[in-house]
Amino acid sequence: MLKIAITGNIGSGKSTVLHLFKLLGVPIFSADMAGHRALLRPDVKTALRSVFGDKVFDNNGEPNRKIIGEIVFADGEKLQQLNQIVHPVIKEEIMQWFEQQTPKTPYIICEAAVLFEAHFETLFDKIITVSAPEPLQIKRIEIRDGISKETIVQRMKSQIDEDIKISKSDYYIVNDDVQSVVSQVFNIHQNVIKLSV
């Protein structure tokens, strides 16, 4: 069973690509969703409170991801502190997911936006980077999250350069609303199936 990672910068369309692999019957995992779940753990909440204080919690005592995002994407040191809290929890969940898979499965896919930032790349046999032109990335995030262009650009600056991610990857998908993402995904699928035999 091959372990494949999908990564890419904000607004590149990783979720779309992940969904296409799911339609092909490939077991999938979202590290982003694991990160959301991590914030609900009591130990993580305690760590968040010690670093950020009560201001990042809502009236129900739950972490407010929007407020946390506003803080960490404006302060590199705070982002690093958040990552030190959350990344080990995400890694733990990924490893548990690996163990739950059927060994006869040809390959599995994990979507992880922070793959290289969190140094998760060593967990995987192959890496796919999803890419999109920056103006299109910004437009997608504006529509999806309803945040300003300035905020999006600020968040982009916290990410590893796309060219570096591509250079460290085995496959590269262009999601520019021009080239067929479906055909690119299917080509990779066929290639990985051959490798897994």
How far apart, in whole angstroms, are the C-alpha atoms of residue 89 and residue 193? 30
Residues contacting residue 71 through CB under 8 Å, at least 6 positions apart: 52, 56, 78
Give the pLDDT band (50/70/90) at residue 66.
confident
Residue 197 has pLDDT above 80, yes or no: no
Residue pLDDT, tens place only, 114-140: 899 899 999 999 999 999 998 988 898
Position 75 scores a pLDDT of 85
- Domain spanning 1-27+101-197: CATH 3.40.50.300: yes
Position 63 scores a pLDDT of 93
Most confident of 92-96, 140-144, 161-165: 92-96
Name residue 93's beta-bridge partners.
none
- Percent pLDDT > 90 in the chain is 65
Helices marked H in the chain — which ranges? 14-23, 31-38, 42-52, 65-72, 76-100, 134-145, 149-157, 162-167, 181-196
How far apart, in whole angstroms, are the C-alpha atoms of residue 95 and residue 123? 9
- Percent pLDDT > 70 in the chain is 100
Residues contacting residue 34 through CB under 8 Å, at least 6 positions apart: 89, 90, 93, 94
